[in-house]
A and B are shown apart, each in its own frame.
Chain A
Amino acid sequence: MMTTVAGASTTLTGLPELVPEPVELPGHLAALRAEVRAFLDAERASGAWTPRADVWLSGWDEGFSRRLAERGWLGMTIPVEYGGHGRGALERYVVTEELLAAGAPVAAHWVADRQIGPSLLRHGTEEQRRAFLPGIARGEVYFGIGMSEPDSGSDLASVRTRAERVDGGWELSGTKVWTSGAHHAHAFFALVRTAPKDDAHRHAGLSQFLVELDRPGVEIRPIPLLTGAHHFNEVRFDRVFIPDERVFGELGNGWAQVTGELAFERSGPERFLSTYPLLAALVGELRATGSGGVDAGTRRRIGSLVSRVWTLRTMSLAVAGALESGQAPELAAALVKDLGTRYENEIVDAARLLVEIPPDPGAEGGFARLLADAVLHAPGFTLRGGTNEVLRGIVARGMGLR
């Protein structure tokens, strides 16, 4: 059991980089941030919307999405020739984190802006880019996600929706579930089997199709959340014809494409800011109790929550910086999402314990409403985009354990 110096040296230096180099935001982004804050102040003052928790799932407001687009804040990283703004990932990061912290209704454009734009640029044909990117940047074209199925959640490679070759294209049959916003969205990327399952090569034979949701044979059925709210859907394909020009990326390369998409999906500020508006409201309630009303224990609890969100932001920004420089930091993205989504729950727990205000799902806004929404949406935080258990498996593999 003696550990030699050489042994210690090997294990100490063998650990992979867990999070990329920290990123410092360039000074010129201060002006952009100030612009976004002024816009959000004006929006709130006009009563256009009320700050809410978990807005990127539930805050569907197409008018708001279009107002963002008018200011150039959607499709920011899409090149100008495709109707975007040719700006960097860090500029987009500044805009999105400001929107989330403000509790603004960003759900309508969220998926399209976050992952569909970048995926179209990487894998889309010229025709597909021209067909969809300008609408995404205008805040008029919305997308869902077509990955999970009734029998395929964490084990995504087991999807059974299949595409059969037909004249001029493919015919899709099967069912996708948990598709947020499918009842409003224009399209999604469906991950489907184009070759029979081979247990020796589980990730082979999968392909992505760009499916416009108004095609004949597509049936969209609500799956109400436990609150009764309609965000999730089941999307059924009954021999839906998809022309060849709507094959997305390379046939058989679906797994690699989806994994690449997930790096964008997993590390963004929405993975630790879903309940930030509740934290801000909690600070407001505590301040309202007057000076001297906040004891040391409460101050320290608030301090811990703030230290943690500051740290998470540093980590998430580091991943954004790595994505911008062309890396795909899968381990770091998984790790930030695991830590961040657990943190979103910590805010809910603290809010309940530090002030005596019961949650009220019927309130117009304020602490009681934010708490109610956060409590009722909390189970989703650690499930969507890969469960925390699956994410920790990715981290363990990255650290050499599997």
Chain B
Amino acid sequence: MGRNTELAELAESIFGDTYDRDATGLDRAAWKACEESGLTALTAPDTGGTLDDAGVLLEAAGAWAARVPLAETDLLAGWLARAAGVEVPAGPLAAVALGPGVAAGSPGGTLTTAGTAVSGTLTRVPWGRSLAAVVVVEEGGPDGERVLVLDAATATVTEAANVAEEPRDDLTFAGATPLATGTAPAGAAAELGLRAALARSLLLAGAARGALARSIGYAGERVQFGRPIGKFQAVQQMLAEAGSEVAAAAAASAAAARTAQGAGFAAAETAFAVAAAKARCGEAATAVARIAHQVHGAIGFTREHDLRLVTTRLWAWRDEDGNDAHWNDRVGAAALDAGPDGLWPLVTGRP
């Protein structure tokens, strides 16, 4: 089962055609093209895409700094609604988990319910101002977790953004009636956290590739001391190091997607693989953004140049859905729990 190159080409052509380095906020043209191609519901049962396919799509979205909530709509909110047995609303969606187990850098907030009326504020909701609906799950007991689908149009929006200028808005509800309510199996909120971290890893791997490709292109064009700066060994060594980091991010995020696809999110090996991948991609993001800017010199540090589209995403995304410290803590705890003899089996997984 090789990489889905047809899907990769489709995604790259959509994101390439709609690429606009001066725009912010939801890219409605790209969204429409994705919707028409089935990419906004790629892993829904009737589309039948795998997590490997989702990986190909999100990697491309990251490389092109695409302004569309594909992961949020399909992998997160769409999945959560289906898990709770409620209809998936049309349009851009986001998912929010409420409870103490949610990683820092994820959307959150508090909601109270009186009868059927829901009040409270959801914080840092991705693309909040442009959403059709938000699917919320409350961490709960062994019998299941309550899921609410809230109409985003009933919320008061307080606009905010991450360091990449991507909308991360607060949505305040005052006595809103949910579009639907349901119950997801126990562990749904935890799975949502893993899904979000996996999606973020894939986006990071793509943005890292985007930064490397732009840097290699620039090093071949920019002439100093009579030759392209890419001919200098000092620059080559830096870019080779960035290449290693991009390769590591790609390998880690793809392996986590494959593990989740094969073993399911409830498996301990998936929790380990996703944690390791998000941590490793976060570390790669730091190194690649640093090198990309060093290679680009002052121009890459300006509004005029589009390197910022990917490097600001590397900086934003490494800290969203749990940063390196959060996920390395999980991996470290698993390693210490496994002990000196159990560590290697933990690293190798099955078989």
The verdict on A190 contacting chain B, using a C-beta distance below 8 Å, is: no
Complex alpha-carbon distance, A1 and B339, angstroms: 54
How many interface residues does chain A have, given as a range?
35 or more
- Say what secondary structure dominates the interface of chain A: helix
- Chain A CB count within 10 A is highest, among B210, B299, B306, B348, for B348
Contact A27 B19 (CB under 8 A): no
Smallest beta-carbon distance A219→chain B, Å: 38
Contact B336 A25 (CB under 8 A): no
Contact B243 A399 (CB under 8 A): yes
The verdict on A97 contacting chain B, using a C-beta distance below 8 Å, is: yes
Complex alpha-carbon distance, A141 and B332, angstroms: 42
Contact A280 B64, CB 8 Å, known A3-B305, A402-B236: no
Within 8 Å by CB of B248, from A33, A287, A315, lies A315
The verdict on A307 contacting chain B, using a C-beta distance below 8 Å, is: yes
The verdict on B351 contacting chain A, using a C-beta distance below 8 Å, is: yes
Complex alpha-carbon distance, A306 and B250, angstroms: 17
The verdict on B216 contacting chain A, using a C-beta distance below 8 Å, is: yes
Determine, out of B138-146, B187-195, B323-331, the stretch whose residues face the partner at the interface. Answer: B323-331
The verdict on A173 contacting chain B, using a C-beta distance below 8 Å, is: no
Complex alpha-carbon distance, A89 and B235, angstroms: 36
Smallest beta-carbon distance B223→chain A, Å: 13
Contact A11 B248 (CB under 8 A): no
User: In the complex, which residues of chain B have a beta carbon less than 8 angstroms from the beta carbon of A13?
Assistant: 12
Complex alpha-carbon distance, A27 and B240, angstroms: 35
Smallest beta-carbon distance B206→chain A, Å: 10
Contact A287 B336, CB 8 Å, known A18-B246, A22-B254: yes
Nearest-CB residue, chain A, relative to B19: A5
User: In the complex, which residues of chain B have a beta carbon less than 8 angstroms from the beta carbon of A129?
Assistant: none
Within 8 Å by CB of A311, from B258, B262, B276, B324, lies B276
Contact B273 A310 (CB under 8 A): yes
User: In the complex, which residues of chain A have a beta carbon less than 8 angstroms from the beta carbon of B212?
Assistant: 15
The verdict on A284 contacting chain B, using a C-beta distance below 8 Å, is: yes
Contact B340 A339 (CB under 8 A): no
User: In the complex, which residues of chain A have a beta carbon less than 8 angstroms from the beta carbon of B12?
Assistant: 9, 12-13
Nearest-CB residue, chain A, relative to B232: A401
Contact A18 B250 (CB under 8 A): yes
List 24 interface pairs A-B (beta carbons < 8 Å), by A numbering. Answer: A1-B304, A14-B213, A19-B250, A22-B254, A24-B258, A24-B262, A28-B351, A33-B348, A276-B344, A298-B332, A299-B329, A300-B325, A303-B331, A304-B279, A306-B346, A310-B273, A313-B347, A318-B251, A339-B248, A389-B237, A393-B233, A393-B236, A396-B230, A396-B237
Chain A positions near chain B (C-beta within 8 angstroms): 1-3, 5, 7-15, 18-19, 21-22, 24-30, 33, 97-98, 101-102, 276, 279-281, 283-284, 286-287, 294, 296, 298-304, 306-315, 318, 332, 335, 338-339, 389, 391-393, 395-396, 399-402
Chain B positions near chain A (C-beta within 8 angstroms): 2-3, 12, 16-17, 19, 21, 63-64, 209-210, 212-214, 216-217, 219-220, 230-231, 233, 235-237, 239-241, 243-244, 246-248, 250-252, 254-255, 258, 262, 272-273, 275-277, 279-280, 283, 299, 304-306, 324-325, 327-336, 338-341, 343-344, 346-348, 350-351
